C-alpha cells in the first residue's frame, strides 16, 4: 500500500519576470494558473497545501490550506518546502511549482516508485537532461535537516538535495515541466490548453449557403461506418423551437418550467430556457454533451470562437475566406482549388472520403494524446 502523501504547490515567489505580479493568480484559460496545477496534482496525492506569501486570502477560495513562508525575506523554494513540511500530516511531501500547469499525471507515482526502489530520502524529476528540482518528493522527516541548512548562507535547492539520498527519475516529455515566466510563455500555454481542450472537436464553418449541413449529412454515415461515435452541436439563430403548441413539452415549458426533459426507450431530449439574449459560449454547450457517449464532436456554427475549424468555401458566393482572419481554421473544403495565404490541407468539397479520413485521423490523434473533453 502506498504511503500517504501531501501535495505542496509553491506559489510564494515574487514574479519578477511578470512585473511583480503574483504568478499563481494570473489567469490562464479562464482560471488562475495555480488552479490548473492543483487540478493535476490533487488526483495524485491525499491532500494539498498551497504555499503563498503575498495574497493568501485570494488563494483561500481554491479550497486548500494556505501556508506562508516561516521567513519573511523570500529565500526561495526551500522556504516553501520548509513551510509545507511544518504543516503536512503525512510522511511524504510532493512539491510542484504554481507555474507548471502541464505537470505529468504520473509524476508522484513515478517519484514514489523510485524513492522506494532506491531507498531514497528525496526523489526528483529530470527532463531534457536537466534536473527539475521543484518537481520532487521529500520525506517529512527531513524537516530538521532543512531547518539547519536554511540557517546557512547557501539556500540553493539542488545543494540541499545533494546532502541526502537522492533518486532521479527521467521523464521523456520535457514540455510537461515548462514553467510560465513571461507573457510570451502564458500566450503559448493558452494555445496549448486550447489545443488540448478542443482535441475532440472540429468546427464546420462557412457563410450561409456554403453547404455546411449538406456536408455534415454526407460525412456522418461514413464516420459512423468507420466506428466513430459522432456528436453534433449546431448553432441556431434567435428563438428556435423544437416542439410546437399542443405538445406536452411545449405546454409545460410555456407554463413556466425552465427545463423540460422528454424521455422514451429510444431517445431523450432536454429543453433548457435561457434568460439572456446573448449566444451561449461554445464551451458551455460542449460541457452539456455527455463525453462518455461520443468519440468526436462536429460543430456547425460558432465561427467567431477560437477552436479548430474546417472552412467550407464557395467562391461563387462572393464572400471572403474566413481563414484570412481566423487562425483557428486548420483546413479548407471548396468547390474550387484556391491559393491560400498559409499552408493547410485543402479538399474538394465533394471528396467525402478524404474529408472523412481527415476527421478520423484527428479523432485517433486525440485518443493517442489523451485529449480531454470537456476541459
290-301 pLDDT per residue, tens: 667 888 999 998
For the chain, give every residue range classified as CATH 3.90.550.10: 5-193
- Omega before 374 within 30 of 0, i.e. cis: yes
Q: Which CATH architecture has domain 198-235+279-368?
A: 3-Layer(aba) Sandwich (3.40)
285-331 residue pLDDT tens: 887 776 678 889 999 988 888 889 999 999 999 999 999 988 889 99
Say what the pLDDT of residue 371 is: 45
Cα 250 to the center of its chain, rounded Å:
38
Say what the pLDDT of residue 375 is: 41
Q: Which CATH architecture has domain 5-193?
A: Alpha-Beta Complex (3.90)
Low-confidence ranges of the chain (pLDDT < 70): 13-20, 72-75, 237-239, 290-291, 368-375
Say what the pLDDT of residue 15 is: 58
Provide DSSP, 273-333: --S-SSPPPHHHHHHHS-GGG-SEEEEES-TTS-S-EEEEE-GGG----GGGT-TTEEEEE
Say what the pLDDT of residue 59 is: 93
Q: What is the dihedral of CA 357, 363, 365, 366, to 10 degrees?
A: 160
pTM comes to: 0.67
For the chain, give every residue range classified as CATH 3.40.50.300: 198-235+279-368
Amino acid at each position: 500500500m502506498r504511503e500517504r502523501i501531501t501535495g505542496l504547490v509553491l506559489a510564494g515567489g515574487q514574479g519578477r519576470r511578470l512585473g511583480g505580479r503574483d504568478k499563481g493568480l494570473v489567469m490562464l484559460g479562464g482560471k488562475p494558473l495555480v488552479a490548473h496545477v492543483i487540478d493535476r496534482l490533487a488526483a495524485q496525492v491525499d491532500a494539498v497545501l498551497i504555499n503563498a506569501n503575498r495574497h493568501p486570502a485570494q488563494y483561500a477560495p481554491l479550497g486548500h490550506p494556505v501556508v506562508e513562508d516561516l521567513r519573511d525575506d523570500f529565500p526561495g523554494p526551500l522556504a516553501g518546502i520548509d513551510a509545507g513540511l511544518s504543516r503536512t500530516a503525512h510522511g511524504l511531501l510532493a512539491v510542484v511549482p504554481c507555474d507548471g500547469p502541464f505537470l505529468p499525471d504520473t509524476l508522484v507515482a513515478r517519484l514514489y516508485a523510485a524513492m522506494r526502489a532506491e531507498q531514497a530520502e528525496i526523489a526528483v524529476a529530470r527532463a531534457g537532461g536537466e534536473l527539475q528540482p521543484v518537481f520532487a518528493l521529500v520525506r517529512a522527516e527531513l524537516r530538521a535537516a532543512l531547518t539547519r541548512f536554511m540557517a546557512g548562507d547557501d539556500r540553493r535547492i539542488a545543494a540541499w538535495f545533494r546532502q541526502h539520498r537522492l533518486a532521479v527519475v527521467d521523464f521523456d516529455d520535457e514540455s510537461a515541466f515548462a514553467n510560465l515566466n513571461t507573457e510570451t510563455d502564458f500566450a503559448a500555454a493558452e494555445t496549448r490548453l486550447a489545443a488540448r481542450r478542443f482535441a475532440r472537436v472540429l468546427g464546420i464553418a462557412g457563410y450561409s449557403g456554403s453547404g455546411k449541413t449538406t456536408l455534415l449529412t454526407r460525412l456522418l454515415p461514413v464516420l459512423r461506418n468507420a466506428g466513430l461515435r459522432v456528436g453534433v452541436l449546431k448553432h441556431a439563430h434567435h428563438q428556435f423551437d423544437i416542439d410546437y403548441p399542443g405538445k406536452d413539452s411545449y405546454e409545460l415549458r410555456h407554463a413556466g418550467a425552465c427545463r423540460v426533459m422528454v424521455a422514451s426507450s429510444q431517445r431523450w431530449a432536454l429543453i433548457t430556457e435561457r434568460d439572456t439574449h446573448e449566444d451561449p459560449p461554445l464551451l458551455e454547450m460542449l460541457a452539456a454533451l455527455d463525453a462518455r457517449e461520443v468519440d468526436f464532436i462536429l460543430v456547425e456554427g460558432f465561427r467567431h470562437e477560437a477552436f479548430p475549424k474546417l472552412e467550407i468555401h464557395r467562391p461563387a458566393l462572393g464572400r471572403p475566406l474566413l481563414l484570412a482572419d481566423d487562425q483557428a481554421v486548420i483546413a479548407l473544403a471548396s468547390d474550387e482549388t484556391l491559393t491560400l495565404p498559409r499552408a493547410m490541407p485543402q479538399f474538394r468539397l465533394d471528396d467525402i472520403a478524404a474529408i472523412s479520413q481527415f476527421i478520423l485521423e484527428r479523432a485517433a490523434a486525440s485518443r493517442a494524446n489523451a485529449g480531454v473533453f470537456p476541459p
